Amino acid sequence: MKIPAEYEAEIRRIIGNIECPRQGECCNPDNEGATRIHYLGGANLVECLECGRDCPFAVPFGHSVFCRCPVRKFLAEHGLDV
């Protein structure tokens, strides 16, 4: 999935404000390592469907893992989840 040009500047701004040991590889739709997510819009939550619990943005909750990554949240809120 190609990120629309209108969102690229905002995504770059968000990426510039976070420290990610994976360097955003899970957010890049062109990367085979992109992680699938499920956006729970009513609850404003992003559930990570493949995330390892070693991710600094992962929040284990029961049998699920929720994602606090601001890039993933932005993508999901705009229907651009990979």
Q: What is the pLDDT of residues 3-38, one digit of tens each?
A: 788 988 998 898 889 888 777 677 766 666 677 788
Cβ 6 vs Cβ 31: under 8 Å = no
Question: What pTM, to 2 d.p., does this model score?
Answer: 0.77
Phi, psi of 72 (to 5 degrees): -60, -40
- N residues, the chain: 82
- Can you give the pLDDT at residue 13? 92
How far, in Å, CA of 65 to CA of 78, rounded? 21
- The beta-strand segments (E) located in 1-82 are 37-40, 45-48, 58-61, 64-67
**Locus of tokens 């699938």:** 36
